Amino acid sequence: MKPKKPKETAAEMTELVLPNDTNTLGNLMGGRLMHWMDIVSAISAQMHCNRIVVTAAVDFVDFKHPIHLGEIVKLSARVTRAFNTSMEVYVKVIGKNLRTGEEKFCNQAYFTFVAVDQDGLPISVPPIEPETEEEKAQYEDALARRNMRLMLAGKIKPDLKILSDLLT
């Protein structure tokens, strides 16, 4: 399979925060935001493999700033690395206040998707060929994050070496 570049997998999504997306303080609920993050990441993964994809895992998400009713949310996603049948997608969330024009970085996360065929069985995906420095760094670190996921999911034994790689 022909490798793809991260930019070929880039997906952008813009959402307007409506009343039903907010809590009683008028702030976007975290679950709604994760729903959007999952959709834009899945689109990115599908642009990479041209297959149906299913969410396999979501890494730690840290919500840094509230987003308010009437503000807009800009989500951007791209594939950082592909493994055999899975892809890691990096997604970044920016909140934008349309009155002031001000943008704030709200959160980021890594989603993992598996490509499947019509029977739902895993199927191989093309490799990723990083271009920029940032893409290359994310590509390198993707392996440690993958090992971390396997540890947290109980599929491989805990290994401090992996953790140490991830944090330094």
Chain positions contacting a copy of itself, by CB under 8 A: 11-16, 18-20, 22-25, 27, 29-32, 34-40, 42-43, 46-47, 50-52, 54-63, 66, 69-70, 72, 98-101, 111, 116, 118, 120, 149, 151-153, 158, 160, 163-164, 167-168
C-alpha dihedral sign at 41, 45, 50, 52: negative
Spatial separation of the C-alpha atoms in residues 89 and 77, rounded to whole Å = 7
From the CB of 131, what's the least distance to a copy of itself, in Å? 19
Spatial separation of the C-alpha atoms in residues 122 and 75, rounded to whole Å = 27
Q: Going by DSSP bridges, is the β-strand pair 11-16/86-96 parallel, antiparallel, or unpaired?
A: unpaired
Q: Which is nearer to a copy of itself, 47 or 143 (CB)?
A: 47
Q: Which is nearer to a copy of itself, 20 or 133 (CB)?
A: 20
Q: Which is nearer to a copy of itself, 50 or 132 (CB)?
A: 50
Contact, 32 vs 99, CB < 8 A? no
**Coil/strand/helix, residue 119:** coil
From the CB of 132, what's the least distance to a copy of itself, in Å? 20
Q: Which is nearer to a copy of itself, 52 or 143 (CB)?
A: 52
Q: Going by DSSP bridges, is the β-strand pair 72-82/86-96 parallel, antiparallel, or unpaired?
A: antiparallel
From the CB of 41, what's the least distance to a copy of itself, in Å? 8
**Coil/strand/helix, residue 3:** coil
From the CB of 149, what's the least distance to a copy of itself, in Å? 7
Residue type, 44: S
Spatial separation of the C-alpha atoms in residues 98 and 78, rounded to whole Å = 25
From the CB of 160, what's the least distance to a copy of itself, in Å? 6
Q: Which is nearer to a copy of itself, 8 or 136 (CB)?
A: 8
